[in-house]
Structure 1
Amino acid sequence: MDKRTTDFGYQKVAFEEKAGRVADVFHSVASRYDTMNDLMSMGIHRVWKRVTLERSGVRRGHRVLDIAGGTGDLAAKFSKRVGDTGRVVLADINSSMLNVGRDKLTDLGICGNIEYVQANAENLPFDDNTFDCITIAFGLRNVTEKSKALRSMARVLKPGGRLLVLEFSKPINPVFSRVYDEYSFRVLPQLGRLIANDAESYRYLAESIRMHPDQETLKSMMEQAGLERVDYTNMTGGVVALHRGIKL
């Protein structure tokens, strides 16, 4: 039996428990996920995702994997870029999020070049050297073994392919960091209670952000996973960072 522990927010839980605990969070919030994203970020998450799209280098005919793709914001944009000769796979470990994403994109009429796969980022069910680009937006911090997931992503990237990790990170200004902490631990749980009837899930969100590796640590982890020319861009004062690496 695996006796290792890992972080679930500020709690320590057994390795085998974390995936289930995270699943419960996202089953709870799936139906209100988009609404809460807009409220929590005051709509800025759309700018962060637009930057990710532009830095991806994705073009017509490419194969793209969007891990922890949730309700499909990035997948929808990639679908238009790759066209009818390309392919987008929206993958998520959580069935509730995957179903919300499928329904949303189907309602938008986006269905011809997208497929949906329930998958664990640590053990991606794809052949080596399959994708031109992989993205994971606001999902890596919920993964139990982040290094294992990064190696799995590198494995299924084609040579020359790009991995982009968009994730909450560490603010670079100490004063702003204190304001951000107040917002995260006081306002977010209250928004969760009012909008999604779930304060605890959004308290976990705030805690999971604080436990996620900082910018330089994540850069090092991506390099150790076999990616080259890894760099990152801080956005909104480092509240979010976009890391990018290439498989050579």
Structure 2
Amino acid sequence: MSRSYYQPGAQRAAQVEDLFAGIAPRYDLLNDLQSFGLHRWWKRRLVALAAVPPGGRALDLCCGTGDVALAFARRGIPAVGLDFSQPMLEVARQRTRRLARPGRTLPVEWWQGDALHLPFPDGHFDAVTISYGLRNLADIPRGLAEMYRVTRPGGRLLVLDFGKPQHPWWRAVYFFYLGKVVPLLGACFCRNAPAYAYILESLQHYPAQAGVTAALRELGCTEIALHNILGGAMSIHCAVKPAQGSN
């Protein structure tokens, strides 16, 4: 397990793209195994917190195999899922085709693109979400700024990701699980332990709950709410882009 996928700076994106290209076929299986299936509930909660109004639309960044964008679409909310990994997007497209029914097309589009340079105009979406992707960006403040830019005034920005528990013993147990057990699952089911060792490595460099809250506040977001899950092992940030003319 000598290879490290975590690289600071400009090399970060290439390493992360290589990582996800390699694990795309079994990404969903490993998510279920390492989270005991709970990630599905956390993503449903994220979608509910987005509170997209009737006629609104959502953007899910770093969408991976499409869980969140498809969850919006199943609710009848037009959604765009954007990711830079073509193999992950292909899995998302396959899932969409399997879920389609005669006479019913899910309102979802899949775009390949860079979360740091979004190909959308200002204020285009009623909600912008990112799940387990913010840690992977080479420039986290820029990624949040792009989310803010394409969110309409009064819309919501939401971030779901791994967290850093405050309680010392729970953090130690949790980091042991991420550092030892999760890479073992990666080795057994993907033959790629380093790809799953990356989770803890990236988390150690991630600003997590306090840092993301501060960054959202710096952007000018209001109604910033932090929802800690499993004692802070996971967290959801939910914030509002102020309506035009509000203070």
Partner of 1:4: none
Partner of 1:90: 81
What is the CA–CA distance in structure 1 between the aligned matches of 2:35 and 2:121, rounded to whole Å? Answer: 36
What is the CA–CA distance in structure 1 between the aligned matches of 2:52 and 2:7, rounded to whole Å? Answer: 39
Partner of 1:200: 194
Matched, 1:108 2:99: yes
Deviation at 1:226, TM superposition (A): 2.9
> Percent identical across equivalent pairs?
38
TM-score w.r.t. the length of structure 1 is: 0.91
What is the CA–CA distance in structure 1 between the aligned matches of 2:6 and 2:13, rounded to whole Å? Answer: 14
Q: Is the 8 A contact 2:5 2:15 kept in 1?
A: no
Q: Is the 8 A contact 1:128 1:156 kept in 2?
A: yes
Correspondence 1:173-192 to 2 at 5 A: 173-192=167-186
Deviation at 1:205, TM superposition (A): 1.6
Partner of 1:130: 124
Deviates more, 1:107-116 or 1:66-75: 107-116
SS in 1 for 2:116: helix
Deviation at 1:10, TM superposition (A): 8.9
| Cα displacement string for residues 160-219 of structure 1 (whole angstroms, at most 9, x for unaligned residues) | 000000010111221111111211111111110100110010111221122111311110
Deviates more, 1:126-135 or 1:69-78: 69-78
Q: Is the 8 A contact 2:145 2:219 kept in 1?
A: yes
Correspondence 1:69-84 to 2 at 5 A: 69-81=63-75, 83=76
Correspondence 1:27-66 to 2 at 5 A: 27-66=21-60
Structure 1 stretches lacking a partner, 5+ long: 1-7
What is the CA–CA distance in structure 2 between the aligned matches of 1:79 and 1:54, rounded to whole Å? Answer: 13
What is the CA–CA distance in structure 1 between the aligned matches of 2:18 and 2:173, rounded to whole Å? Answer: 29
| Cα displacement string for residues 75-114 of structure 1 (whole angstroms, at most 9, x for unaligned residues) | 1110122x2xx52101111111111111112211174411
Write the letter of the residue equivalent to 2:86.
Answer: S
| Cα displacement string for residues 102-149 of structure 1 (whole angstroms, at most 9, x for unaligned residues) | 111221117441111111111110001100001100000000001011
Write the letter of the residue equivalent to 2:107.
Answer: N
Q: 1:9 to 1:137 in 2, by over 3 A?
A: farther
- After superposing on structure 2, the runs of 4+ consecutive aligned residues of structure 1 that deviate more than 2 Å are 8-13
Instruction: Figure out how many residues of one structure are paired with residues of the other and give that number.
Output: 237
Q: 1:12 to 1:197 in 2, by over 3 A?
A: closer
TM-score w.r.t. the length of structure 2 is: 0.91
Write the letter of the residue equivalent to 1:115.
Answer: E
Matched, 1:26 2:20: yes
Deviation at 1:154, TM superposition (A): 0.6
Deviation at 1:9, TM superposition (A): 7.0
Structure 2 stretches lacking a partner, 5+ long: 243-247
| Aligned-pair Cα RMSD in Å | 1.7
Write the letter of the residue equivalent to 1:219.
Answer: T
| Cα displacement string for residues 5-63 of structure 1 (whole angstroms, at most 9, x for unaligned residues) | xxx979554x2211000000000111000000000011111121121122110243211
Match for residue 146 of structure 2 among 152, 175, 178: 152
SS in 2 for 1:123: coil
